[in-house]
Amino acid sequence: MTRLKLGMVGGGQGAFIGAVHRIASRIDDRFDLVAGALSSDAKRAAASAAELGIAPDRSYADFRDMAKAEAARADGIDAVAIVTPNHMHAAPVIAFLEAGIAVICDKPLCLTKEEADQIAAAVKRSKAPFILTHNYTGYPLIRQARQMVADGKLGKIRIIQAEYAQDWLTLPADPGNKQADWRTDPARAGGGAIGDIGTHAFNLLSFVTGLETEALLADLHSMVNGRRVDDNAHILLRMKGGAKGMLWASQVAVGKENGLQLRIYGDKGSIEWGQENPNVMTYSVFGEPKQIITRGGAGLGGGAGQWTRIPPGHPEGYLEGFATLYNDAADLIQGTGDGALLPGIKAGLDGMWFIGACIASSKKDGVWIKR
């Protein structure tokens, strides 16, 4: 077992997606984060690196220096994660590809058509892999859905209903909100809802159906006064082969947290899946009862098991709950927490009493056993 050495550009203190990338890289224990240009602010870059256990000589103020230096080291990084805002993707992506280092880049690809072409050219020139983290394609049931479509379980695809609705931009953004700030600035974000979340929905429907888009027709809106990017988008799709689609992307749909939903109807069957409860998908065959497919569960769901770490019924998230106990345990052991919520010996003795009392009560055909 050899772990890959990972670098990161962006993702310094206060960043959201950088932390997500780091956790994701650790779960299967195949990467060690060893280098970073975590912020364009040199001080913040250094502080962030220290916090993350990156050696000072591998914390860089500039991603260009980092690409060169790491490429030159015998123990240089094997891959780099680019987790900067959209308008700062192109340059580091190209720099690392040119240095022969694999790139794992957050989505969307970049800001402009020109940048996109430059990145495409760099990918073509480089031997290093390029990966874009359209992370929703990593859900086991989404991969299972793709397989089902490919296997013809749905027949010929006719209709695609995709949506990605949130509500966090319902009000004019708080100027101090770092996440909202760049996402609502056309110069840094490109599109609004269409770029931030619409591209996820678009990617997902392509990934699952395997269909190429023929054309789209869009009606974009800025529902909030003064907003400079779209915050709601109504889009019609025509796919090659004749399927038709609707795509709704919104960041002003009150009550929606992260409502990514995909529904696909073929001439034989259909599937419906929603990201907020991702371990469950419904599958309908015309003329038969709807089936509930669970991640790794009975029937077709079993196929999803190959991308799964835990048994059916243990939702993904089970691991995070487990991790919270380990986190609290670390606090307790290091003296930075009192472990007040941790089950300890009392919980253990309680459980032993429970087992013994159940057996004793049942043996007497059901009598009350006192604690």
Of the candidate residues 38, 108, 145, 211, the single one contacting a copy of itself (CB under 8 A): 108
Of the candidate residues 130, 144, 183, 197, the single one contacting a copy of itself (CB under 8 A): 130
Contact between 119 and a copy of itself (CB under 8 A)? yes
Q: Own/partner pairs for 324-329, CB < 8 Å, 24+ apart?
A: none
Binding piece for a copy of itself, criterion CB under 8 A, among 7-15, 16-24, 37-45, 63-71: 16-24
Distance CA 300, CA 140 (A): 12
Q: In this structure, are residues 256 and 166 in contact, taking their beta carbons and an 8 Å threshold?
A: yes
Contact between 57 and a copy of itself (CB under 8 A)? no
Binding mask 203-222 for a copy of itself (x = CB under 8 A): x--xx----xxxxxxxxxx-
| Nearest alpha carbon to residue 167 among 136, 199, 193, 200 | 193
Token digits of residue 340: 């007040």
Contact between 71 and a copy of itself (CB under 8 A)? no
Contact between 106 and a copy of itself (CB under 8 A)? no
Closest distance between a copy of itself and the C-beta of residue 310, in Å?
7
Where in 72-101 is the site for a copy of itself (CB under 8 A)? 78-79
Q: In this structure, are residues 193 and 249 in contact, taking their beta carbons and an 8 Å threshold?
A: yes
Binding mask 240-269 for a copy of itself (x = CB under 8 A): ----xxx-x-x-xxxxxxxx-----xxxxx
Contact between 18 and a copy of itself (CB under 8 A)? no
Closest distance between a copy of itself and the C-beta of residue 52, in Å?
7
Residue 280, SS3?
strand
Where in 279-318 is the site for a copy of itself (CB under 8 A)? 279-280, 282-294, 297-301, 307, 309-318
Where in 329-358 is the site for a copy of itself (CB under 8 A)? 329-330, 332-334, 339, 341-345, 347-358
Closest distance between a copy of itself and the C-beta of residue 72, in Å?
19
Alpha helices (runs of H) in 37-194, residue ranges in sequence order: 42-51, 63-72, 90-98, 113-125, 140-150, 178-183, 186-189, 193
Per DSSP, what are the bridge partners of residue 6?
A: 33, 79
Residue 67, SS3?
helix
Helix axes 199-209, 140-150, angle to 10 degrees: 40
Query: Do you find a cis peptide bond into 278, omega within 30 degrees of 0?
Result: no
